[in-house]
Amino acid sequence: MVENEVHWLIHLLYLAGYLLALALVVRIVMLQRPAGVTFAWILVVLLLPYVGALAYLLIGERRLGETRSRRASAIHRLYEDWLDDLKRRFGDAGERLPERHRPLVREAIQVTGLPPMPGNRLQLLDHYEAIFRAMIGDIDQAVSYCHLEFYIWSEGGLADELAQALLRARQRGVVCRVQLDAVGSKPFLQGKWARRLREGGVELVEALPVSPLRLLFRRMDLRNHRKIMVIDGRVGYTGSQNLVDPRFFKQQAGVGEWIDVMIRAEGPVLEALIGVVVEDWQQETGRALEVIETYADNMAGDSGGSTPVQVIPSGPSYRYMAIHQLLTTVLYSARRELLLVTPYFVPDDTLKLALMSAAQRGVEVTLLVPERVDSLLVRYASRSLFDDLLAVGVRVAQFRGGLLHTKAIIVDGGFTVLGSVNMDMRSLWLNFEISLFVYDRDFTRRTRQLVRGYLADSRFIDAEAWRQRPARQRLVENLARLVGPLL
C-alpha cells in the first residue's frame, strides 16, 4: 500500500512539474524577448524540472518590485521639466554635428531624453594611480558637495586614501554623499571604512539592497553598475574604474591586475551626470535632494572646451533594451573602422550580426578582449563566438597584460562610446549603467591611441589555428554558449 502511494506521489510530482514548466514556457514566449534569451530559458525550464522553474521565478524577469517600480515612475516624472529645459537649451546641438552623427543623436534623445551637450573639456585617464590621484585632488578642492555612485568600493591602497579625502572634505563642511551597490560593495559596506565614513558624517547608501524577503518581490541580480563622481558642478568622472586599487583587488582570481579608464569631465555634461546621480539617490532613499535646477545654477562656468558629449543612462527602469538598441545603431553606422573593447563579450545574435555585417561590408573590425577573465563561464561562452567572427574577417585580439576592464567602442575615428557597459546581456538588459557618447575627432584619436597601446600587448587569434583547437574545448564552449543569453 505504501509503495503504491509513493508511486502515485511520484507521478503527481512529475505531472505538477510538467504543468508548471508548460505554464512558464507560455509566459516566456508571450514576453517577446530576444529569441536567444527566450530559447535559453525554455531550455532551462524544460530540462531542469522545479530547479529551472525556481531559477526563472527568481531571475527570469526584470522585476524591480511593484513598490520600487511605482516610485521610479513617480520620481522620473519629477525630472521631466528639467529634461524639457535641457532639450530647450541644447536641443539644436545635435543638428550642428556632422550629418553622419545626427541619426544616432536623434535616436538617443528619443530613448533617453538627454541631448548632446557641447562645450566640454574631457581628459582621458588610463592608469589607476592617475585616476585616483586626480579624484583625490578634486575632492580636496571641493567646497560645496561630492556625489559618488559606484558599483564596487573595496578596501586597500588608494581606495582608502580616497575615503580619507572624503572625511577631510566633510570636516570642511562639504556635503558628501556616496551610493554603493549592495552586492558589489558588500564587504566594504560591512567593513571598517564604511563605519568611519558614516561616523565622519558622510552619507552612505546601499543601492538595490538584498534580503530573503525581497526575493519574493524582485530579482536580486539587478545591480547598479554605474561609476560616477561629480564635485561642485565643477568636475566629474565616469568610466570603467571602480573604487578599487588593482594591487589589492581580486588578487586570488588569477587574472592579473584590472586595467581601466576614466574620463575627467568639465562643462555642461556635468549637469546631465548629476541629474542621473540625484535621481538614483532619491530612488534609493525616498528623499528628494535639492531640486535639480539648484545644481544647474551652481554649475561652473565655461570649461574652455568644445567637445560635444551625450550622457546615456540605461537600466531596468528605463526603456526596455535602450542601450542595446543604441549600440546596435552604433555598430551599423561604421563605414571604415570599428574598434570594440570589452572585458565580457557575450552578445546576443543581433549584436554579433552587426559586427559580422560591418566586416562583410569592408569595415576593419577589431574585437579586443582579455585573455583571462574572472568568470569561467563567460570565458568559454565568449570563445564560442570567435569562429563566426573570424570567418568573416573580424580581427580578434586577446589582451595579455591583465584583466582589461575598459569598455570602449570607436567608430571611423570620429565617435567614441566610453562608460560602464559590457558587451553582455547582463549589462545590456539587467544592470543600471552609464555611457558617454562623444562626438569628437580629437578625443576619439586619443582613445584610439589608448586602444592601440592595448593591442600592442595582445595576441591576435589566427583563424586557421583557432579552427584546429581540440573538439572537447569546442564542446565546452558551445555548451557555455547555450546559457550566454542569461549571463
Question: Mapping DSSP to helix (H, G, I), strand (E, B) and coil, where does residue 366 land?
Answer: strand
User: How far apart, in whole angstroms, are the C-alpha atoms of residue 77 and residue 69?
Assistant: 13
Question: Mapping DSSP to helix (H, G, I), strand (E, B) and coil, where does residue 128 land?
Answer: helix
281 with 360, same domain? no
22 with 155, same domain? no
Q: Which of 310, 342, 368 is the last residue of a domain?
A: 310
> Which of 101, 126, 138, 227 is an active site residue?
227
Active site residue 407: yes
Name every residue whose Cβ is closer than 8 Å to that of residue 178 and which is 6 or more positions away in sequence: 148, 149, 150, 153, 166, 197, 202, 203, 204, 205
pLDDT at 176 over 90: yes
**pLDDT tens digits along 151-170:** 999 999 999 999 999 999 99
Of 265, 295, 299, the closest CA to residue 279 belongs to: 295
> Which of 245, 405, 424, 440 is an active site residue?
405
> Which of 140, 160, 374, 412 is an active site residue?
412
Mean local confidence (pLDDT), 63-86? 72
pLDDT at 55 over 60: yes
174 with 295, same domain? yes
For residue 232, give its domain range. 66-104+115-310
299 with 378, same domain? no
Is-contact 256 457, C-beta < 8 A? no
240 with 198, same domain? yes
Is-contact 257 243, C-beta < 8 A? no
94 or 24: which leads in pLDDT:
94
Mean local confidence (pLDDT), 474-479? 86
Structural domain count of the chain: 3
Active site residue 225: yes
User: How far apart, in whole angstroms, are the C-alpha atoms of residue 270 and residue 181?
Assistant: 22
Nearest-5° angle of CA 75, CA 78, CA 79? Answer: 105
User: How far apart, in whole angstroms, are the C-alpha atoms of residue 175 and residue 195?
Assistant: 17
Q: Are strands 145-150 and 175-181 parallel, antiparallel or unpaired?
A: parallel
Q: How many CB atoms lie within 10 A of CB 91?
A: 13
User: How far apart, in whole angstroms, are the C-alpha atoms of residue 175 and residue 352?
Assistant: 45
User: How far apart, in whole angstroms, are the C-alpha atoms of residue 379 and residue 255?
Assistant: 12
371: region left, alpha or beta (phi > 0 left; psi from -120 to 50 alpha): alpha
386 with 436, same domain? yes
The cell for 283 is 530612488
Largest CA distance in the chain: 88
Is-contact 79 275, C-beta < 8 A? yes
- For helices 269-285 and 80-90, the axis angle rounded to 10 degrees is 170
Q: Which of 257, 281, 310 is the last residue of a domain?
A: 310
Please tell me the predicted confidence (pLDDT) of residue 302: 65
**pLDDT tens digits along 221-256:** 788 999 999 999 999 999 999 999 999 998 888 899
Please tell me the predicted confidence (pLDDT) of residue 403: 96
Q: How far is CA 46 from CA 43, 144, 211, in A?
A: 5, 56, 28
Does residue 376 lie in a domain region?
yes
> Which of 232, 245, 424, 440 is an active site residue?
232
Does residue 164 lie in a domain region?
yes
Question: Mapping DSSP to helix (H, G, I), strand (E, B) and coil, where does residue 112 land?
Answer: helix
Does residue 316 lie in a domain region?
no
Q: What CATH number does the domain containing 238 carry?
A: 3.30.870.10
Q: What's the pLDDT band for 289 if we cut at 50, 70, 90?
A: low
Question: Mapping DSSP to helix (H, G, I), strand (E, B) and coil, where does residue 222 land?
Answer: coil
> Which of 101, 225, 324, 352 is an active site residue?
225
Please tell me the predicted confidence (pLDDT) of residue 39: 73
Does residue 362 lie in a domain region?
yes
134 with 6, same domain? no
Active site residue 412: yes
Residue type, 212: P
> Which of 101, 324, 352, 407 is an active site residue?
407
